[in-house]
Chains A and B, each alone.
Chain A
Amino acid sequence: MPMAPLPQFSSSVKLKYVKLGYQYLVNNFLSLLLLPVMAAVSLELVHRGPGEMVELWESLRVDLIHVMCYLFAIVFVSTVYFMSRPRPVYLVDYACFKPPATCRVPFSTFMEHARLIYPNEKSVRFQMRILERSGLGEETCLPPANHYLPPKPTMEASRDEAQLVIFSAIDDLVRKTGLKPKDIDILIVNCSLFSPTPSLSAMIINKYKLRSNIRSFNLSGMGCSAGLISIDLARDLLQAHPSSKALVISTEIITPNFYPGNERAMLLPNCLFRMGAAAILLSNRRRDARRAKYRLVHVLRTHKGAEDRAYRCVYQEEDSEGNSGINLSKDLMSIAGDALKSNITTLGPLVLPMSEQLLFFLTLVGRKVINPKWKPYIPDFKQAFEHFCIHAGGRAVIDELQKNLDLSAEHVEASRMTLHRFGNTSSSSLWYELNYIESKGRMRRGDRLWQIAFGSGFKCNSAVWKCMRTVKTPVDGPWANCIHRYPVHIPEVVKL
């Protein structure tokens, strides 16, 4: 009888402890080095005795003036150091739009409407197949205009949807944080596929009577990763202006983007995109540090647009009948993988612990110098982060990232469950995922969070946050009345 399995098991256990020991050694190298140094110093002290120590002190000929000067110098150097550090950016709180149950689109409604709107049977069957494998649930929501037969993508309806989702999110945020609209210094709105004039930011300034010297920006056309682009811009503005508060609104307006044609690649967004919005309050005031939930550590942007293939993989265009829609190419997954690799190559040295960086460096050197056939070492990002928020772009995106980063099911649970409950809400999905993690009571003080989003262009943006205080399970919010049902098992195919 072969004895192979048992030795394999014991060797893999030994390997696990070796790895743990190695990580502990490298990451705490400096502190471990301190021990022998302190031992040597204390031995020396004991040797010499107190009398010799006093003699040594007096030989330095230190008097009051010298002491004052040195103290003065130390104080000045530390002031200069603190003055020249960039201001920290805190996330005080955020709120997500909770769609009303009247806007729900269960599979049956979606398919019934599809059969009535699309005369082409093939288009209907295609959408059904997509929906079956999409990972979406029965509670995702579409705006009121999309419930009409056929949908009414007018500008007025689009503005109504914008007012509904954005104002609800801001009202929630004001209630949670006690924010006074007059205190907002910076306003950034990102909405990719609806940009009326005057902008959505002007609409918010009008509704909440914001100050006339506000710095407002309206980003558009920047895709599902625009939320992190807004955070990046907010960070730069907060670092340029002391004692300021920034309100960032991330949303996607679905109403004007209904695709009535028959081009398959352009029917996908109809099946996946759903209504959503998030309002985020950022601040650089020291007094907000006490009540802030997170501190922004890094934001990294990667733009692969210089490559033609990447540029064209999410492309808005007109089909042969003149209907406008978003064309998703089949290359999307591989391009997303490439973009992710570029992003984490820059992010790795900033966040990975020394142990992982050393291994990566040694493997790199080994491949170059010793043997090019060595497998490249993919750093273990689970060492750097406790929580992951991967943009819920679609099931395939989450699967791909889980595989690439070697993440467990629990790490991607927030993304999968958000896709199931809310669908692909574009740039606001990261905030629904974060709310899921908080609702599950998993967010502790000191935890590090990584948000990754992909968008048309092709961009991969990521943000790293550090949790400043253990977050209490929220009693309201989008997950409040359904978190107890999650996580759910999402089958590969839901038969319709």
Chain B
Amino acid sequence: MASAFMLFYCFLNIAWVVFRRWRDRRCYLVDYVCFKPSDDRKISTEFSGKIVERNRRLGFPEYKFLLKVIVNSGIGEETYGPMNIVEGREESCTFSDGLAEMDSCLDSTLDELFKRAAASGVTPRDVDVLVVNVSMFAPAPSLASRIVRRYGMREDVKAFNLAGMGCSGSLISLDLVWNVFQVRGKTTAVVLTSESIGPNWYCGRDKSMMLGNCLFRSGGCAMLLSNDPAMRRRSKMSLRSLVRTHIGANDDAHNCAAQLEDDEGLVGFFLGKDLPKAAVRSFTDNLQRLLPKVLPTRELILFAARTAKQRLKWLNKAGAAPAATRINFKSGIDHFCLHPGGAAVIEGVGRNMGLSAYELEPSRMTLHRWGNTSASSLWYVLAYMEAKRRLRKRHRVLMVTFGAGFKCNSCVWEVERDLDDEGAWEDCIHSYPPKTLANPYFEKYGWINDEQ
């Protein structure tokens, strides 16, 4: 009797350790807040045209090139820029301008996040892990320290400040938090992701570096995460898997997107011609590791069978190599959050994955309304889906981003409850999708598309 009891006790112990390990792999997104800058920071096509005009270094060919990019970019009239550009000081951005730009994002998003978190009983002093990711601005003391000071966080808070990680920085921050969750007990984490536009404005004449000026816009997002099972009921989503792929070992991929100096010594963000190829390669690598984790076994077996059949057919008949067999992503994923890096990126990825206009709508609309806000753009896409009431309990959401290096990071979330918060889209969700995404200045500047 006593020995039976002891055996049972031992089994219970092991079961408990295994269960605890499994439970600690949970990562709940309790809430998130996207940054909505003030309306006086809006940048329209006309305003962009004026900025181009006043740059003394640019001649007519550059003017034509830039307007062509802006008009065809898929970016709308209501995106936001930093204050120093709106005030006409884009070429003389001071250090305090850079800090002020960051402060406007940090204060606004974190104030709102903590206000909402108070309802769950979470205060800034309860935060155990803080991760800040801003790729192109890393002052000392770090932005993470700035937040610790502003909100009076505890002395033993684990603060991390990531920089230089490109547009996929928010998923890297998530990876960091998830790893820390697995080794600490009940932990609360705050992640802040944003990008610094002001100090990184390119004033020169190199066309491959001017693209950044046209595409990047101000934005940011603050997220509250926890691995406490008690927070599950209040949380929006839980993380199922996260896969990171880095193809920096390939020289072309590494050099295709980089911060460089041009021939005149002016610093700008270079976007090279190899970028689409690097994106496709890293995306394929990433999917190869991600899909076995998220698609149902039935679909994987069917895909393997279809591929084998096609290969056999090709072996038997001589001719061109077979087209790649389509995999049905929708068997395991309900919503697709694609990084709105540019119209071409969204179209390219959508075509490769066989996605419809409905599925690509959130990314296209985000590009139109907010521009490319770098690492935080995914969260605007997610907020669009939420505002449109598309996210229902047990739905799965795939997030994919690309970043300089070259990286492709992806993750899959499972929605915990029906979501309906309009967030940053509150004042405009009802006018989306608009009848046309074409630039209203197309007629005015349309002549630039004519080849001479």
Contact = CB atoms under 8 A, between A and B. Distances in A.
A212 interface: yes
Interface string A424-454: 0000000000000000000000000000000
A395 to B, nearest CB: 22
Given A76-B13, A205-B248, A222 B175 contact: no
Contact of B183 (A198, A236, A342): A236
Contacts of B183: 86, 236, 239-240
B163 A218 contact: yes
Interface in A200-222: 200-203, 205-206, 209-222
B140 A456 contact: yes
B275 interface: no
B251 interface: yes
B163 A215 contact: no
Contact of B166 (A198, A206, A219, A342): A198
Contacts of B13: 76-77, 80
Contacts of B157: 303
Interface in A171-225: 192-193, 195-203, 205-206, 209-223
Nearest to B258: A198
A458 to B, nearest CB: 8
B304 interface: no
Given A76-B13, A195-B138, A200 B164 contact: yes
A84 B17 contact: yes
A72, A212, A215 — most chain B CB neighbours (10 Å): A212
Given A199-B164, A221-B138, A239-B183, A305 B248 contact: no
Contact of A215 (B14, B152, B153, B244): B244
A197 B141 contact: no
B14, B140, B175, B257 — most chain A CB neighbours (10 Å): B140
A360 interface: no
A83 B13 CA distance: 11
A68 to B, nearest CB: 9
A235 to B, nearest CB: 8
B75 interface: no
Interface in B1-27: 3-4, 6-7, 9-11, 13-14, 17
A251 B260 CA distance: 21
Interface stretch (A139-147, A314-322, A376-384): A314-322
Interface string A300-333: 0111111110010011111000101010000000
A237 interface: yes
A83, A193, A209, A306 — most chain B CB neighbours (10 Å): A306
B287 interface: no
A109 interface: no
A58 to B, nearest CB: 19
B258 A197 contact: yes
Contacts of B161: 219-222
B149 A311 contact: yes
Contacts of A304: 155
B121 interface: no
B248 A156 contact: no
A229 B160 contact: yes
Interface in B85-142: 94-96, 135-136, 138-142
Contacts of B243: 213
Interface in A70-104: 70, 72-73, 76-77, 79-80, 83-84, 86
B3 A346 contact: no
Contacts of A311: 141, 145-146, 149
A229 B141 CA distance: 14
B159 interface: yes
A485 interface: no
Interface in B251-293: 251, 254, 257-261, 265, 267, 269, 282, 285, 289
Given A240-B182, A305-B145, A456-B145, A219 B162 contact: yes
Contacts of B10: 72-73, 76-77, 80
Contact of B251 (A206, A213, A216): A206
A393 interface: no
Contacts of A458: 141
A84 B405 CA distance: 37
Size category of the binding interface on chain B: 35 or more
Given A199-B164, A209-B249, A210-B248, A318 B14 contact: no
Interface string A47-73: 000000000000000000110011011
B285 A212 contact: yes
A303 B148 contact: yes
Nearest to B247: A212
Given A70-B6, A200-B164, A206-B248, A155 B145 contact: no
A306 B153 contact: yes
B71 interface: no
Nearest to A66: B3
B404 interface: yes
A303 B155 contact: yes
B249 A76 contact: no
Contacts of A199: 163-166, 405
A303 to B, nearest CB: 6
A80 B14 CA distance: 6
B164 A196 contact: yes
Contacts of B144: 221-222
A164 B285 CA distance: 31
A216 B245 CA distance: 10
A70 B2 CA distance: 10
B17, B248, B251 — most chain A CB neighbours (10 Å): B248
Contacts of B248: 198, 202-203, 205-206, 210
A233 B149 CA distance: 22
A240 B282 CA distance: 25
A314 B164 CA distance: 22
A209 B155 CA distance: 39
A457 interface: yes
A393 to B, nearest CB: 14
B141 A223 contact: yes
A307 B145 CA distance: 11
Contact of B136 (A197, A237, A459): A197
Interface string B183-217: 11000000000000000000000000000000000
A232 interface: yes
A212 B258 CA distance: 19
A70, A156, A202, A457 — most chain B CB neighbours (10 Å): A202
A86 B164 CA distance: 32
B158 interface: yes
Interface string A240-256: 11000000000000000
Interface in B226-259: 243-249, 251, 254, 257-259
B338 interface: no
Nearest to B96: A318
A83 B136 CA distance: 42
B165 A213 contact: no
Contact of A213 (B179, B245, B265): B245
B34 interface: no
Nearest to B3: A69
B164 A316 contact: no
Contact of B159 (A86, A303, A308, A314): A303
B349 interface: no
Interface of A: 65-66, 69-70, 72-73, 76-77, 79-80, 83-84, 86, 154-156, 192-193, 195-203, 205-206, 209-223, 229, 232-233, 236-237, 239-241, 301-308, 311, 314-318, 322, 324, 326, 342, 346, 456-459
Given A73-B6, A73-B7, A202-B404, 17 more contacts: A76-B11, A155-B259, A197-B164, A203-B254, A221-B144, A221-B163, A233-B160, A240-B179, A240-B183, A301-B158, A302-B155, A303-B159, A305-B159, A307-B149, A316-B95, A316-B139, A322-B94
8 contacts: A77-B13, A196-B258, A197-B166, A212-B249, A220-B163, A303-B154, A306-B153, A306-B154
Give the 7 A-B CB pairs with smallest separation, nearest first: A199-B164, A221-B142, A69-B3, A220-B163, A195-B163, A205-B248, A305-B148
